[in-house]
Amino acid sequence: MPPRNYTSEIRSRHAADTRRVIIKAARELFARQGYTRTSVAEVAAAAGVAVNTVYTSVGGKSALILAMTEDSAADAVGSDSLQRIATLDDPREILRVTAEGTGTVQRRQQKTLTILLDNRNADPDIAAAADLATRFVQERFGIIAERLIETGGVRPELTRTQIEQTLWFYFGFDAWRTVRGMGWTWPDATEWLATQAAHALLPPAA
């Protein structure tokens, strides 16, 4: 029995490694030559596997773009930020951690997000993946909004929905693309977005 389990573990690791290589190859090709112009055969060649392996490991092109999105959404930085936020009682610190976390994820997952955001209106597969990424981030902002309310430090007239929408406005995909598009450094963008979100969500300092 132990040898069989050991063999199964090796196969599982190999399958996971193959899947990662395929998704990485797809990401590079989609970013370089576009989603619609990239074939599954090209992904297979770039990954160094057979075409059938792409289908059995991940799936067709729509599955590849969704897998890329899910992998990006699962970036550990986002989860780590939420864990830190759950321990914080200072709303300004919560907003700072939110800014740092979302900025780091944007930087680490920039290639995938560029594929999604630049092509979401051109292909239904991309649109579905972009919607998935948006929902995932907004769900996390909902959790952060709840924590901000629990601290008692936000403006009392704001509803949970308004807080969540404000977080999306300042820390969502388009916000980061805008400040980065203006040539701001990541640290400058992080500080500015956190400061503006604090102005919008917190009472004026006494």
Say if residue 145 is exposed, middle or buried (CB neighbours under 10 Å; 0-12, 13-18, 19+).
buried
Query: For residue 46, which amino acid is it?
Result: A
Query: For residue 178, which amino acid is it?
Result: T
Q: What is the pLDDT of residue 2?
A: 54
Given a cut of 50, the residues of the chain with pLDDT beneath it are 206
CA distance 135 to 124: 16
Please identify which residue in the block is written with the tokens 């990401």: 27
Instruction: Give the global pTM.
Output: 0.85
120 φ/ψ angles, rounded to the nearest 5 degrees? -65, -25
Contacts of 30 (CB under 8 A, 6+ apart): 38, 65, 68, 115
Q: What is the pLDDT of residue 190?
A: 96
Q: What is the pLDDT of residue 16?
A: 85
CA distance 134 to 113: 10
Q: What is the pLDDT of residue 206?
A: 46
Q: What is the pLDDT of residue 73?
A: 84
Q: What is the pLDDT of residue 76?
A: 86
Q: Which tokens belong to 13? A: 């690791």
Please identify which residue in the block is written with the tokens 């069989």: 4
Q: pLDDT tens for residues 132-191?
A: 999 999 999 999 999 999 999 999 999 999 999 999 999 999 999 999 999 999 999 999
